[in-house]
Chains A and B, each alone.
Chain A
Amino acid sequence: MDTLWYVIFALLFAGYFALEGFTIGVGILLRLRPHAARDLQVAAIAPFVLAGEVWLVALAGLLFGVFPLLEGDLLSGMYPLVVALLLAWILRDAALWFRRRGDGPRWRPAWDVVLSAASLALAIVWGMVLVAIMRGFPGGFDPLGVAAGVGVALAYAFHGWTFATWRLAGHPAVDGASRRGRAVWLSALVAAAPALLTLAVVTPSLLDHMAPSATLNVIGFMVLPLTPVMIGAQVWVWRTFSRGPLPSFF
């Protein structure tokens, strides 16, 4: 049972980086693209955002349920970083939800500034968080964390551009470039690499801090029967939205 929960945790962690990596990456690059290209770029990622970010929500819930002793120490040990992560995440999401809901010539460009800035901040804070986890959250300013943050931002941007050139293949919004599906798998691996590296470092600590079996059984009893539905719903999202016209709500 312990191994199973560890594998689920690892899958959610790496999966979040692969699935949100490209939406954050497209956000980072958005301001560098001409105005005409931005709506299409956002429309390309939009149907995947809700289904992707929820991997991190699930990861945090799992942290509380399966590794309760770690949860408090981890989050409070990196207090300013976790607050910054949440604020960047919320502002990125708000920009997506709100950018096409208002009028006026300055409404959408203003939210696109928020979208790009918050996406970049989110990537950089992730790098700092991963380094803090690997070093046992020493606190204080860590230049290595910032360097890792730049690395995560570059990986996300690469993944985002690869995704956009695959989904919008040949369109002027991506300068007519086009990539194959195989390239997206590869860039997903690049985006997930920082999470996988962190996992490799913290595995012993995770396995040491599991909740007692009574708790794990209850969670497993309620959640494991639903995993086929969870996987099925995610596959359904990808099968529905990875080709054809672009739904345009965001």
Chain B
Amino acid sequence: MNVLDLARWQFALTGSLHFLFVLLTLGLAPLLAIMNTRYVLGRKPVLERMTRFWGQVYVINYALGVFTGLVMEFQFGLSWSGLSHYAGDVFGAPLAIETLGSFFLESTFLGLWIFGWNRLPRKLHLACIWLVTLTAYASAFWIMAANSFLQHPAGVVERGGRLALDDFGALLSNPTFVMALPHVFSAALWAGGSVLIGASAYHLFKKTPDKEFFTRSLRLGVVTAFIGSLLGVGFGYAQMGLVNEVQPDKWSGSALAGAGLGLMILIGHVLQLLTMFVLLPLLIGDALARWRFMHPLLMALAPLPFAAAICGWLAREEGRQPWLIYGRLRVADALTPGLSGAEIAWSFAGFVGVLGALAVIDYVLIARTVRRGPDQIALGAPDLAPELEPVGSL
């Protein structure tokens, strides 16, 4: 493999890892906000336990989203400096807005939510998880806006060999953005619902004592997966016409893009039919929670929305090749000039090795949290109260 191949593989692997984790972050955040709201309004202990249990799954998953995201943010400048040279005046804007206006707030409010469990008034604590949800979706909005600019560079003019921002509105009404954004949001909800379904099925199958807890979680998971599948498939087809207008040979030009698209559609349809015509009706009388023979199947299906999402990304990004910015800048021309084989080989080994290992550990820790159930949750546990001298304020 040459330098270009390695740089592409490094970006593809770290990007795919990032997407696996942020997908669940986006899917679980609104569900946590709903559970937390119902707890604050009704004070039912089971709803507090649900918020803490699923919250810990969310928080462990969040860590890897951050680690992989850091590598993504810096990788543009590391191995693709041709991108910022040619289009930084345009592409940099949504990324800067994302980090300052969204992620900065998301991270700060999440810290308040994680550590403020016993410190903040209940309603302010609740406000934090809603703000985390809002800013997480705002983050996805700006990242998708940036990605859509690569698919179809709308709203720009070329001046002196560089792209300049001409029409910000066109950047945000980009035909490869407007339908893809709700498509991704729906896929995330689908994945979040699917994790609730799979983990609840595990506990119901094992007949652990928390029957009400996991029956409720299963119900929320199925309804969420149903909404996600309905909107996800709908917005998926809705973007086809728009994509064909601006990238006519997207699916036919690349075997990998075509295969990714086909597999995603297959998984999507099978799961959607199953969710709509089997899982959703079986919520009546909580039949799904009682029918143990169904539970192994529900566990086995849980990873499928993640597989479909990765296939979807493969299709979207492979279908843009050989362009980094469609019709404007080739991937090969965006590679950092003078990047050496040794540099990219070491960074590839470091990023893929470290992030890959941490991703495996993270999934093991999520599985462990799920297996041990709601009684051994550290999130929201009582604070440590050592004897301290009264300290002066700052």
- Bound: A246/B368 CA distance, A: 25
Contact across chains for A72 and B350 when beta carbons are under 8 A apart: no
Question: Which A residues are within 8 Å of any B CB, using their own CB?
Answer: 39-40, 43, 46-51, 53-55, 57-58, 60-66, 68-69, 71-76, 79-80, 82-83, 86-87, 89-91, 93-94, 97-98, 100-102, 166-171, 173, 178, 180-182, 184-185, 211-212, 214-215, 218-219, 222-223, 226, 229-230, 233-234, 236-238, 240-249
Residue contact A60 to B99, C-beta cutoff 8 Å: yes
B270 at the interface (CB under 8 A from A): no
Report the separation of the CA atoms of residues A60 and B351 in the bound assembly, to the nearest whole angstrom.
Answer: 18
Cβ-neighbour of B115 out of A47, A73, A223 (below 8 A): A47
Chain B residues close to A by CB (< 8 Å): 59-60, 63, 66-67, 70-71, 73-74, 76-85, 88-93, 95-101, 103-105, 107-112, 114-120, 164-166, 168, 336, 339, 343, 346-347, 350-351, 354-355, 358, 361-362, 365, 368-369, 378-379, 381-394
Residue numbers in A under 8 Å from B115 (CB-CB): 46-47, 240-241, 247, 249
Contact residues in B for A49 (Cβ distance below 8 Å): 111
Q: Which residues of A lie under 8 Å from residue B355 when comparing CB positions?
A: 90
Total A-B contacts with CB atoms under 8 angstroms apart: 274
B residues near A47, Cβ cutoff 8 Å: 111-112, 114-116
Q: How far is the CA of A109 from the CA of B66 in the complex (A)?
A: 24
Q: Is the CB of B386 within 8 A of A173?
A: yes
Contact of A248 with B99 at beta-carbon distance under 8 Å, contacts A50-B108, A64-B92, A178-B391 already known: no
A83 touches B351 (CB 8 A): yes
Task: Tell me, rounded to whole Å, the shortest Cβ–Cβ distance linking B358 to chain A.
Answer: 5
A194 to chain B, nearest CB (A): 20
- Whole-angstrom distance between the alpha carbons of A61 and B94 in the complex? 9
Query: CA separation between A11 and B158, bound complex, in Å?
Result: 33
Q: Is the CB of B103 within 8 A of A57?
A: yes
Question: In the complex, A91 Cα to B379 Cα: how many Å?
Answer: 22
Cβ contacts under 8 Å, A40 to chain B: 384, 386
Q: Is the CB of B96 within 8 A of A64?
A: yes
Report yes or no: B99 in contact with A58, Cβ–Cβ below 8 A: yes
**Are B116 and A64 in contact, CB atoms less than 8 angstroms apart?**
no
Contact of A166 among B73, B93, B391 (CB under 8 A): B391
On whether the beta carbons of A51 and B88 are closer than 8 Å, the reply is no
Q: Are B81 and A76 in contact (CB under 8 A)?
A: yes
Q: How far is the CA of A102 from the CA of B366 in the complex (A)?
A: 11
B74 engages A249 (CB within 8 Å): no
Contact across chains for B92 and A171 when beta carbons are under 8 A apart: no
Other 17 A-B pairs with CB < 8 A, given A171-B387, A219-B97, A242-B394:
A47-B114, A47-B115, A57-B99, A61-B98, A64-B84, A66-B96, A68-B88, A71-B81, A75-B81, A86-B70, A91-B354, A170-B389, A214-B166, A230-B108, A240-B119, A241-B115, A247-B114
Give the shortest distance, in Å, between A206 (CB) and chain B (any CB): 15
In the bound complex, CA of A72 to CA of B110 (Å): 31
18 sample A-B contacts, Cβ–Cβ < 8 Å, listed by A number: A60-B99, A66-B92, A69-B84, A71-B92, A72-B77, A76-B79, A76-B81, A90-B70, A181-B392, A211-B93, A215-B92, A215-B165, A223-B96, A226-B101, A240-B115, A242-B391, A247-B119, A248-B384
Bound Cα distance from A169 to B394, whole angstroms: 13
Q: Check A58/B104 contact, CB under 8 A, given A51-B111, A166-B391.
A: yes
In the bound assembly, the distance between CA atoms of A140 and B354 in angstroms comes to 24
